Structure 1
Amino acid sequence: MLIAAILLIGAHLNSTGVAALAKFGIVDAEGISLRAFQTALIMNGTFEPVVTTEWIRQAMSEFVTPTLGEGYFGTAMNTPEEFWPATGLFSMTFDNSVQAGYALLDTQVHQNLSESPRAPLAVFGYSQSAIIASLEKRTLATEFADPKETPPVSFVMTGNPYRPNGGFLSRLPLVARLLTASSPMTASPTDTVFATHDIARQYDMWADFPTYPLNLLADINALFGLLNHWYLPESVNPLLGNLISTVSLDPASPNYDPDTVVQHYGDTTYYTIRSQHLPLLYPLRWIGLGPLTDIVEPTLRVLVELGYDRSAGYGQVVNAGLFPAIDPGKLIDDLGAAFAEGGTALRALFAPPASAPAG
């Protein structure tokens, strides 16, 4: 009798504990750990269909873990990532590549959900695969309209061409229709229950394109801003070596910028990582003319920023416009501060070298 009573009490405590842990999403109803099955599907961008172990490591440490927390296991999600003719005369068009990648991702996501419907699942997309991730997010939002049945899926996107305010394809809808005719989309959705983290580098042409394309200086800077489209060391063209900087959201990383702009809109948290220098001036810095560019860069940055409207926030769709609404007083103040900063750089350039202390 005593043994039976002990077993009965133990069974009750065990079932109560499982129920409590299940309530917090730590285990499922059978007591199987969900944390052990936290998967992050990691995709790469155009030109990089095969996801390497190093890419997974960097994506996890620099972006997935800082935004979603510890416990996810990164796994490769290979997608075509082609863009005819840049990726070869016999490669897929951008549209077909996106559609093929989306089909692969959708199949994998639903396979994961069927095997572990309550286990947290993350999707990481970069550049072209950020579009693929956006399509999957839209599909899941339609498929799971009832919030009570929504699976624990989250998204992390970098260099997203469909970022609502800044994405190249969101900014230019006509271009978007040409490039992605099979999957028309205004912007990455923000009205779902799927937590999303959207990361962009300032002046990245694909994720931070000018609002006012008639500002040719901003356009040229954005074109050079393709050099800001590299986010992780693994993606940098080896020919450029250490000339290109990379970024991180991990506060412990040397590539982390504490001045990163963070905004929340709908289901999405937006991160915009400031560009230390104008991409337009990168080539001059590469050939050793950094001190000279320091003189003109502050003024050029003010003029480039006239090509942007950042007041609406990054979560609201802002299409390309013709002319910005310029506040003359603010412009004069900004130019005055820029001239002063450039003047300081000029004086530093021609200042006599400090003499060594006597002794």
Structure 2
Amino acid sequence: MIVLRMRKALRAGYLATLSLLGAVVLLIGSAFSAALAFGAIGLIVQGTGTPNANIVNNYLENARNRYLQGTACTNAFNCGTVAEGVPDPTLQGINYPASFFPLSFIPGWCRSGPDGCDKWDVSVGKGAVGLQEQLDYALTQTSDDIVVFGYSQGGAVVSNVLNDYIKAIPVDAQKKRIQIVTIGGIETPDGGLWSRLSPLGFIPYFDITFGPPMTPDPLVKQTVMSFHFDPVGDAPRYFGNPFALLNAVAALETVHGFYLTPNGNGPTETLPYGYTPETLPAAIACNVGVNCRVDSYGNQYVVIQATSLPIADFIYGSVPSGLRPLIKPVLELVAPAYRVLAELGYDYSGDPSVATPLSILPFNPLTFNPVKVGLDLVGAVGQGVNNALGGGTSLSPLNPPEGAVAPNLPLQPVQGNQAAGESPTATTGSARAARSSDSVAETTTSLADVGNPTATLQAKKPLTNVIRQSMQATVGRSGLSVPGDAGQEIGGLRGSGTEDAAVPNGLNTVAGKQSEPATSQPLKAATNDGTPGQAAA
């Protein structure tokens, strides 16, 4: 009898344990399936000099891992790339010329095809066509959340599509699926360089339109980020301040091109100001009044604090290594006081969603406090003396680090067709060499190709801005067709020192860097020579 009872008890215990294990397995499986089912689509619009981000090692992944963690696109499982080998990659770049005529003397800025260097409006217009195509496909063929990311000139592409297309989407539920993130965006309303220069309107011949600013839509969440002093995304408000202007010019070299490094464009380079992927998340977390402003719709505008002075970093990095020990104490002595004067050119007291043009004044006369500025200068001089004697520093580490060797990066997987006469090549070697001479194959990777190879785009709404026309066939800044010799239709998606002082201006910014148009059958991104370069405008 006792043995029988023991057997029953053991059997019951065994069944209970088996049931518990089964429940755990089912729970884990359900969670895993849910994680895969609720994916996201990430559309990356890269900056000047990188026409095809899909073939640049770690470009897309760095954008997602560093700046999209507050969105629906956070990891390889819910928003992965071809290079990560996920079964359904949905994170991709929007191929477009990413060029800037007439700045062909800057390596990588004019590599857009047989007709030479596309002008700004043409390049941005082609990018807008490609981005709209992808949005059309994602909105009509999937139910996923969509994250649109723009860097530098890519910010202008995103701004055009936001103003011309997204705001006109008639279905609110579709709008709510879209999230926008920009870094160093040139169309940032209060801080973007084109917003500052908006009084110029339009420059003929060069075809540069200073707008439209990326004003928000109430139903589309936006997050705008820029490193402090970056002249493209965080340009001075007061252009009459020579200290701010010179420092901003230096930051174009030391700050703006390094948001996503190291990657295939710059494998030995690092983030600006000595930040690392581990320290960056705390710096981009919105802390209102310190590094962040919030508009009336809840959108965040983050200024990533500068831990050094770009003009000092630029001078230090430009002199021969043998002279650096001699010039370093001088830079350390001067940098803190220089920064106090440069900060007067910035003002974060206004509504961040309102486009704010430049002022010719040297500072804000309404907030200028001569007593405080004098005290700040006295403190800065003392700090400069201390730094010069070795007690601190106002300089960032060299970027790239001295003696850095490029890693042996594997060839980025290429999906689609190469440009005519080209074959895929790894984007390795020194960063500067990669920007100036390396030729990388073009791909035509697209969301439709990757997610549903047989799907074709049903274009929903072409861009609608009126553009300035020329006599040759081209694409205007909004992607509309322009009459020309070829008579082809491009629009409508066919052919398509470490201080802690608060700055009295709203934020504490002081703290401890001719393609073929897109087609729609199936959805393809723009084709060009695909050579990567520094995203610098």
TM-score (norm 2): 0.53
Q: 2:183·2:224 contact (CA, 8 Å) conserved in 1? A: yes
Q: 1:166·1:209 contact (CA, 8 Å) conserved in 2? A: yes
Give 1:269's aligned residue.
300
Q: CA deviation at 1:204?
A: 0.8
Residue type of the alignment partner of 1:164: P
Post-superposition CA distance 1:293-346 (Å, at most 9, x none)? 222111000111111222225333221112221211221122122122123224
1:214 equivalenced with 2:221 (yes/no): no
The correspondence for 1:63, drawn from 64, 67, 81, is: 67
Unaligned runs of 5+ in 2: 1-32, 81-90, 286-290, 392-537
Q: 1:158·1:200 contact (CA, 8 Å) conserved in 2? A: yes
Post-superposition CA distance 1:58-88 (Å, at most 9, x none)? 1111111245463333223212201112234
- Which structure has more RCO (C-alpha within 8 Å, separation ≥ 6)? 2
Give 2:192's aligned residue.
167
Distance in 2 between the 1:170 and 1:247 partners? 28
Distance in 1 between the 2:274 and 2:129 partners? 30
Residue type of the alignment partner of 1:212: Y
Give 1:100's aligned residue.
126
SS at match of 2:43: strand
Distance in 2 between the 1:228 and 1:335 partners? 25
Q: 1:203·1:222 contact (CA, 8 Å) conserved in 2? A: yes
Q: 1:232·1:247 contact (CA, 8 Å) conserved in 2? A: no
1:322 equivalenced with 2:322 (yes/no): no
Give 1:199's aligned residue.
225
TM-score (norm 1): 0.78
Residue type of the alignment partner of 2:197: L
The correspondence for 2:375, drawn from 322, 327, 333, is: 333
Distance in 2 between the 1:301 and 1:124 partners? 31
**Identity of aligned pairs, percent?**
22
Q: 1:247·1:255 contact (CA, 8 Å) conserved in 2? A: no
Distance in 2 between the 1:348 and 1:104 partners? 52
1:90 equivalenced with 2:116 (yes/no): yes
Give 1:136's aligned residue.
161
Post-superposition CA distance 1:37-76 (Å, at most 9, x none)? x110122111110113421111111111245463333223
Number of paired residues?
316
Give 1:79's aligned residue.
96
Q: 1:137·1:194 contact (CA, 8 Å) conserved in 2? A: no
Give 2:336's aligned residue.
298
SS at match of 1:65: coil
Post-superposition CA distance 1:169-223 (Å, at most 9, x none)? 0011144523896866341012331111111011111111111112122111111
Residue type of the alignment partner of 1:84: F
Residue type of the alignment partner of 1:91: C
- Pair 140,193 (structure 1): closer, same or farther in 2 beyond 3 Å: farther
Give 1:233's aligned residue.
261
- Pair 214,48 (structure 1): closer, same or farther in 2 beyond 3 Å: same
Post-superposition CA distance 1:17-37 (Å, at most 9, x none)? xxxxxxxxx99xxxx97513x
Residue type of the alignment partner of 1:60: R
- Pair 313,55 (structure 1): closer, same or farther in 2 beyond 3 Å: same
SS at match of 2:191: coil
- Name the Cα RMSD after superposition: 3.1
- Pair 264,92 (structure 1): closer, same or farther in 2 beyond 3 Å: same
Distance in 1 between the 2:131 and 2:274 partners? 26
**Greater Cα shift, 325-334 or 175-184:** 175-184
Q: 1:127·1:161 contact (CA, 8 Å) conserved in 2? A: yes
The correspondence for 2:272, drawn from 245, 256, 260, is: 245
Q: 2:119·2:207 contact (CA, 8 Å) conserved in 1? A: no
Distance in 1 between the 2:145 and 2:47 partners? 24
Q: CA deviation at 1:139?
A: 3.0
Residue type of the alignment partner of 2:354: Q
SS at match of 2:92: strand
Distance in 1 between the 2:116 and 2:46 partners? 21
**Greater Cα shift, 319-328 or 105-114:** 319-328
Q: 1:168·1:207 contact (CA, 8 Å) conserved in 2? A: yes
- 1:334-349 equivalence runs, <5 A: 334-348=376-390
Residue type of the alignment partner of 1:44: Q
1:54 equivalenced with 2:58 (yes/no): yes
- Pair 65,259 (structure 1): closer, same or farther in 2 beyond 3 Å: closer
Q: CA deviation at 1:279?
A: 1.1
Q: CA deviation at 1:132?
A: 0.7
Distance in 2 between the 1:274 and 1:128 partners? 22
**Greater Cα shift, 145-154 or 54-63:** 145-154
SS at match of 1:232: coil
Unaligned runs of 5+ in 1: 1-25, 350-359
Distance in 2 between the 1:149 and 1:41 partners? 16
- Pair 62,244 (structure 1): closer, same or farther in 2 beyond 3 Å: closer
Distance in 1 between the 2:335 and 2:203 partners? 35
- Pair 75,94 (structure 1): closer, same or farther in 2 beyond 3 Å: same
